[in-house]
Structure formats: structure tokens, C-alpha cells
A and B are shown apart, each in its own frame.
Chain A
Amino acid sequence: MASAFLEMKNISKRYAGVQALDSVDLNINTGEVHCLAGTNGSGKSTIIKIISGVEKPDPGSEIYIEGTPASNRTSIESIHQGIEVIYQDLSLFPNLTVAENIALSEVIADRRKLINSGDYRKTAKIAMTRIGVEIPLSSKVEELSIADQQLVAICRALTGRLKLLIMDEPTTALTRKEIDSLLAVVMDLKSKGIATLFVSHKLDEVMEIAERVTVLRDGKKIGTWPANELDSRKLEFQMTGENFEYSHNQEVVNESEPLLRVEKLCRTDNFRNISFKVMPGEIVGITGLLGSGRTELAMSIFGMNPADSGSILLDGSKIKLDSVRKAVKHGIAYVPENRLVQGLIMEQSVSKNTVITIIERLLKKSGLINHGLKESRIEELVDKFKIKGPSVDAAVSTLSGGNQQRVVLAKWIATNPKLLILDGPTVGIDVAAKGSIHESIKQLAAEGLAVIVISDEVPEVMNSCHRIFVMNRGEFIQEFITRDVEEREILDCISSAE
């Protein structure tokens, strides 16, 4: 029987009227790989803050570390107890060197006032050899790949007497290969008696090596299970409380004059020899791993990064796409993967965001904005997409993720596009809200739009698309008709290519 490193009993936390955590118990054993799962707002980040001492739990909560009571700790004390957190954004210093990034926290923890570059190179070297990686010590962190940056963050955590490593959504920005080497590092830590707590909002690769899974929902603990007893469907049910059944799109769109025809499109270092067509009313899925070139391809069709060779035909005529404006003018719309930065202007109002794409079409003869027309367009769009929020004049940032994505859809549908490209349409959106986004997409296709959905979630493309392409290393490696294929086949195709 393994001994518990961390025992949390009856943990509650209330913020200004919101019960973020409600009597949650959580145990993590020495050297255990544990996974904490829950949707956005389930209380995951609050529990990380409490474990790392950034926030204090409400009275009545009990925390024991290696058997001794530890309810009232600061973040520095928690680091001294061997607990380190790697946040999703990694929290590294882009302008400092690898060695400095790794050694800085040790210097701070030791309350040393002076530093010496020889010392911290040594510290960094030791940390790197512990997990058997080698990254140039004097490179600036901003010059590294995301995967290497993550290794730097792990090395930084290793400089102390690490007992528990908490990783918040570690795999979102990694390719499969990089995930594998990350998992190898975690297994190596395990063999040294270091526990790892993965925090995730979806079932992912880390589950392969997790021993137990704890699920949170609405601030309450739903339960803890051995990882091998859960599959993705069961976990999703526990996280959402709803049995969310992804349907399998059985329709096939009849052959007709294609709206978009892409022929032998190439762009150095991004993708090559891409040929496909999309008919009006058809939803075509492109799936593949991060780094397969799927986003780059979408951006080329949207005029961002013009392709080097090959051609794009819209409605049968060849078009030249070298700017976003041109693409929009041709009736191409793009819902970007990074909604917060590329898709929306968070501080501005819902109404302004919905008409940003068409403001030049809402002018009176005098060239001034026709505010009456503008308001009625906004009302129409908000109605059509059932956007819910405090008011249309409220900042988009006050909306939920699902409603935010509906604003992005609305602003593009406002342009009356012929082709709609969606990149990761439900990234970061709760399972429950995902379904309605998928419904909207199908609805739009039924209205005659040609749609491309790019996603790494196979169930998502299976649900909404009529045809699916698997992309790998910049090439389409296989085409599937959704009706005639099982999820397993597509997953196998993706993983075998790697």
C-alpha cells in the first residue's frame, strides 16, 4: 500500500458569493500519476491554487502533507514542501536564458541575494541530467519550441526537492511525439518517487499512464476511479453529468459543381500537394495532429500566408488570395482556433464585434454609418445565433465560451460567405455547449454554405462532417466518407502515420 504524500479533506473555498469548491477530498500517493479532470469552471484551478499555497482554503478544510497538517501555507512554503506547478502558459521568462529560467526559482527559494552565472549553469545542468535532456543553456527561452520550453519548466521544478509536480493542461500545444517524450519523463520521475498531478478538461493522452482519475464538477468531487476503469465516454459523463452521445454523420452530399476546388497547393515548410473540393452544403473535415499543417492550410485559403504554387478555384474561377481582405471579398470566412486573440476583441461590446466584418457595408450614401441598419443587423444576428449575455453593449469578455464562439460565427455569417472555415470550433468550450455549436454548423451547411472543419477531435469531425481528410506532415494521407467509416479507423490512420 502506497503512502499518501498529499491528503486533502473537506476542502471548501468561497469567493465573493461563489462556491468554487465544496467539501472536496483528494489524495495523492507518493510517486503516483494522478489525473484531475473537470470542465471549465469545475474548480480545477482553485484546487491547484490551494495545493500550491497561492490561495488558502476556507476554515474547516484539512490538508496533510506526508502526514503533517499543512492547511495554512504560503506559496513559498509549498515550494519548500516539494510542490511545483507548471501552468498551461509555462510561466517562463522569454527574455532570459535556459539556465537562468531553470535556476532562478532556486535562488529565490534560498533567499540568496547574489547570483553567479557559473552556479546557475551548474544547477541547470544537474536538473537536465536528472531527466536526461539537453537544451543549450545559454539560449533564450523565446527561441525554443513549445516542447523544449515545457522541458525547461520541468527542469525548473526539479531544482528543489520535488515531491509533487502539478501540470495544468500540459499536452494542448504538443505534437504526439512530444507528448510521448513528456510521458516518458513523467514515468522517469515516478521511478524516483515523484508524484505527478495532471489537470485536464478532456480525456487525453496522459490518461495512458495515469493510475487514478479524480473528477470535479461544479466545485464538487464526483469520484475517484482507477484510470483503467474509465473510457472517454464514461469520463465525459462524469464531468458533465450528461450522457453526451456524439452522433455519426450518415449523410452524403450529392455530387454537384464544387464551390471550392483546391489543386496541388504547396507552401514551403507548411504543406504540399493539397487537392480537394468542397460542394455547397457540404462539410469537409480536416483532422491531424498539431503541426500537421492543417492551420497553415486554412490560413492560406484565408489569404494570410499565400501558397507558393497550386491553385484555388472558387465557383469555377481561379482566384488569387494574397490578403485577408481579398479572401473576405470573395466570400471566405475563417473562425480561428485562438478565439480570445484572433477571433474576438474581448474588451469591446458584443454588438461591435458582430458587425466588425461588415461595417463598410452598413454605410449610408453620405459614407457615414447607418446606425439604424447596424442595430437591426446586430439584433438579427444575436437572435439567429441565440447569443446570450448581459446585453449587446457588454464586453464580449463577460460572455461564456460557447456564447463567445457564437459571436465569432455571427460576425462571419454577417458577411454572407460562401465558404466557412472553422479551425478548432469548440476548443475550450464545455461539452454541453459543443453540441449546439455543432448544430449551428450543420444548420449553416444546410442553408447552402460550403464548410471546412479543422479539428484534432475525431468525434467532432465524425459528428459534423460528410467527408474527412487526415493530414500528416503537410500532406493529405487519406480521405474517408464519414458514413462508411468507424472512429477507430480514423484514429488508427492518424497514429500509424506518425
Chain B
Amino acid sequence: MKKLLKHHETYLVIIIVILSAVITSRNANFFTAENMFDLLKSNSFYGIMAIGVLFVLISGGIDISFPATATVAEYIMAVVIINMGGNIVVAVLIAVVVGSILGFVNGLLVYNFRIPSIITTIATMNIYYGLLTFITGGKWIYSLPDWFRSFAQIRLLTFYNADGAAYGLSIVTFIWLLVVLAAVFILRFTLLGRGIYAAGGDRKAAVRAGINVFFTETFVYTFMGFLAGLAGVVQALLVQTVAPNSIVGKELDVIAMVVLGGASLAGGKGSVTGTLLGVALLAILQNGLTLMAVPPVWYEFFVGVVILVSIGFSSLQAKKKSGNTSVIELSLEEAAE
């Protein structure tokens, strides 16, 4: 029990349970399988990108450009399948390849020129997004192929509610699930995954230990790009339109979810479980406000409150724990570098 309390995830679960209980008490529709499956479907887009952000944060970097990457990948994918046909495999392949290339460029810039990742990715975000909108003129795409539309309707499990309407585990949620499993596998069971943690914890020590930091660093940005591409396809599946400006601007929201999930901006810390809980917290908050008939304008406000209260709480905790000696400890750590 004591060990459980040490984990950030435990607190998140407690908050989510309390929040869910409050929402359920006001609107019983919240705690239904239908609503849950619906949440899992509509948040898979955020969930997939959050996993990518998690990897980048663990490695000690940050990525601002992923929504732009997702948009570019999504748009190119849409243009190709509309004009040249194809199937869902082709669509996904195009998007992830485009995304990976754009992510790889970020990784190269960060690694080779030691430009702070936040600066690099703000710049590439402007380039990716600016060029896309310039070339496409910002046109929306509505006429996605029928097979693309019907793929989005696939359910792996189907149930019927009292009114006879079908609901269940969407194929989109399933894609998210695969991403989560892949992430757990990489982080837990591969040298690459431990290398990402190691490099995020102490880069110099990682180099000395023989970890290929070039590989871990370019990998996390490429993987981020890969997942952004995949999330682009998922977004297109969910809304069935492609708009150059619909995703850009979401970068800070996704980063907030991952940080709420316990990842540290200083690198070296973060877990897939925590990230999922972070996504769940904000998803439930938004869904709950709707179900409790709170005007949607309150959502952003509450997100701000949640971020400040939860991060503030843990920051204060950390400050108290180290007491007055925080400065000394900090300096010892830095001296070790």
C-alpha cells in the first residue's frame, strides 16, 4: 500500500475515480459501456499522439511540431488515396512514412546541431504547416473514398443499446491499443527503450556506457512522426474530412496530458500507464462537463485548473521533501555533470 502511494499513477486513478463518481451522480449516462466505448474511440487520436510525446519527453526533449506533422501526413495520404485509389494499408503506409520522415528531420536537427528541441520543433512546425497550407491553399478535403469511410465503421465487438443502436469496440480504438502495446514493449523489453530512459536521465553517462545516443535521439523523433502520421489517419477516419488547420494548435494540450501523466520535462521519467491516465483524465473532464450540461466554454478553464492544481501539488511536495536543502542537493547533482 505504501509502495502504491509512492506512484504518481495512484493519485491519478484516485482523481479519475472521484471525478467519475461525481459525473455519474449527476448523469447516469456517463458510466455506461456505450459512453466508455465512445470515449475510447474519440480520444484515440489524442491517445496515439500522447504516446509519441511520452517517448520524446522521456528522452529529455520536447516536440511542438507533431500536429503539423500529422496534418501534412494526413493531407498527403488523403490526396493520394483520392487520386490514385488504394486501400487502408496503403493509406496508413503513406501517412506513417511521411510522418516518420518529418520526425527524422527533427531528430537530425536536434542531434547534429544541438539546437534546443523546443526551438527546433517550433521552427519545423512553422515550415511543415506553412508549406502545407501554402501549397494546398488551405483547402478542405471532403470526398474521401467509400472504402475509407466504411473502414471507420468497423467494430471488433458489437453491442446494442436499449434503443437498438449498435456500439462497441471500434477499429480505431484497436489501432490505439496496438500502439500502446508497442510502446510498452519498446520501453520495457528492448535495449532501445532502456536507452531512451538512460539518455534522458544522464546523457553523458549514456554516451560513456556505450548507448548509441544518435540512434535513441533520432528514434524518438522519428517514432513521434510515425505516430503523428498514424494519428492523422485516425483523425481522418473519425471526422471523414481533412482540414489543414484542424489539428495544429493541439500540441500543448497533448503535452499537458502526458505531463499530467507523470512524465517530466527534464527527461528520464514517464510511463505508458501514466500517459493513458493523463489522456483519460482530460477526456473524462471534457465528457463530464458535457454530460453535466456545463457550457463547453468552461472546459479550457478547468483544464487550466487541473494542470495548476495537480502539477502545483507535486511541485510543492517535492519542494517540501527537500526542504531548505533543495538548493544544495540540486547543486550536488549539477556538480556531478
Q: Which residues of A contact B (CB under 8 A)?
A: 75-76, 79, 85, 87, 89-96, 100, 104-105, 107-109, 112-117, 299, 304-306, 338, 340-342
| A-B contact number at CB 8 A | 78
Q: CB-CB < 8 A to A79: which residues of B?
A: 210
| A95→B198 CA distance, assembly (Å) | 8
Among B76-84, B115-123, B231-239, B329-337, which stretch is in contact with chain A?
A: B329-337
Q: CB-CB < 8 A to A107: which residues of B?
A: 191, 194
Assess the B328–A114 pair: CB atoms within 8 A: no
- A86 to B: closest C-beta gap in Å: 10
Interface: B300 (CB within 8 A): no
Assess the A91–B209 pair: CB atoms within 8 A: yes
Contact size range, B: 20 to 34
Q: CB-CB < 8 A to A108: which residues of B?
A: 191, 209-211
| A114→B198 CA distance, assembly (Å) | 15
Among B30-38, B171-179, B199-207, B222-230, which stretch is in contact with chain A?
A: B199-207
| A137→B167 CA distance, assembly (Å) | 47
Q: CB-CB < 8 A to A338: which residues of B?
A: 331-332, 335
| A268→B331 CA distance, assembly (Å) | 22
| A94→B206 CA distance, assembly (Å) | 11
Chain A residue at minimum C-beta to C-beta distance from B267: A95
| A299→B202 CA distance, assembly (Å) | 29
Q: CB-CB < 8 A to A76: which residues of B?
A: 210
Contact for B269 among A85, A95, A117, A299, CB less than 8 A: A95
| A167→B189 CA distance, assembly (Å) | 31
Given contacts A79-B210, A95-B200, A96-B198, 16 further A-B contacts (CB under 8 A): A90-B205, A91-B202, A91-B205, A91-B208, A92-B202, A95-B197, A95-B269, A96-B201, A107-B191, A114-B190, A114-B191, A115-B190, A116-B189, A299-B328, A304-B327, A338-B335
Chain B residue at minimum C-beta to C-beta distance from A120: B194
Contact for A104 among B190, B209, B268, CB less than 8 A: B209
Q: CB-CB < 8 A to B328: which residues of A?
A: 299, 304
Interface: B192 (CB within 8 A): yes
Q: CB-CB < 8 A to A87: which residues of B?
A: 208
Contact for A341 among B192, B325, B334, CB less than 8 A: B334
| Cβ contacts A to B, 5 pairs, < 8 Å | A91-B209, A104-B194, A114-B189, A305-B324, A342-B331
- A104 to B: closest C-beta gap in Å: 6
Q: CB-CB < 8 A to B197: which residues of A?
A: 93, 95-96
Contact for B190 among A93, A113, A299, A306, CB less than 8 A: A113
Assess the B331–A75 pair: CB atoms within 8 A: no
Q: CB-CB < 8 A to A96: which residues of B?
A: 194, 197-198, 201
Chain A residue at minimum C-beta to C-beta distance from B185: A114
With A112-B191, A113-B190 as known contacts, state yes or no: A94 contacts B210, CB within 8 Å. no
| A341→B192 CA distance, assembly (Å) | 33
| A157→B337 CA distance, assembly (Å) | 20
Query: Does more than half of chain B's interface fall in helix, strand or loop, or is it mixed?
Result: helix
Assess the B210–A75 pair: CB atoms within 8 A: yes
| A306→B204 CA distance, assembly (Å) | 36
| A329→B307 CA distance, assembly (Å) | 39
Chain A residue at minimum C-beta to C-beta distance from B324: A305
| A299→B328 CA distance, assembly (Å) | 10
Q: CB-CB < 8 A to B333: which residues of A?
A: 94
- B160 to A: closest C-beta gap in Å: 43
Q: CB-CB < 8 A to A115: which residues of B?
A: 189-191, 194
- A267 to B: closest C-beta gap in Å: 10
Residues from 279 to 337 in B contacting A, C-beta threshold 8 Å: 324-325, 327-328, 331-337
With A93-B202, A94-B202, A115-B189 as known contacts, state yes or no: A341 contacts B210, CB within 8 Å. no
With A94-B201, A96-B201 as known contacts, state yes or no: A109 contacts B335, CB within 8 Å. no
Chain A residue at minimum C-beta to C-beta distance from B330: A341
- B185 to A: closest C-beta gap in Å: 9
Assess the A93–B331 pair: CB atoms within 8 A: no
| A84→B96 CA distance, assembly (Å) | 42
| A69→B72 CA distance, assembly (Å) | 55
Chain B residue at minimum C-beta to C-beta distance from A341: B331
A112, A305, A306 interface centre (most CB from chain B within 10 Å): A305
- A248 to B: closest C-beta gap in Å: 32
Chain B residue at minimum C-beta to C-beta distance from A110: B191
| A411→B204 CA distance, assembly (Å) | 32
Chain B residue at minimum C-beta to C-beta distance from A111: B191
Q: CB-CB < 8 A to A93: which residues of B?
A: 197-198, 201-202, 205-206, 268
- A149 to B: closest C-beta gap in Å: 10
Assess the A341–B204 pair: CB atoms within 8 A: no
Chain A residue at minimum C-beta to C-beta distance from B266: A95
Q: CB-CB < 8 A to B202: which residues of A?
A: 91-94
Q: CB-CB < 8 A to B201: which residues of A?
A: 93-96
Chain A residue at minimum C-beta to C-beta distance from B202: A93
Chain B residue at minimum C-beta to C-beta distance from A94: B201
| A85→B209 CA distance, assembly (Å) | 10
Chain A residue at minimum C-beta to C-beta distance from B270: A95
Assess the B189–A304 pair: CB atoms within 8 A: no
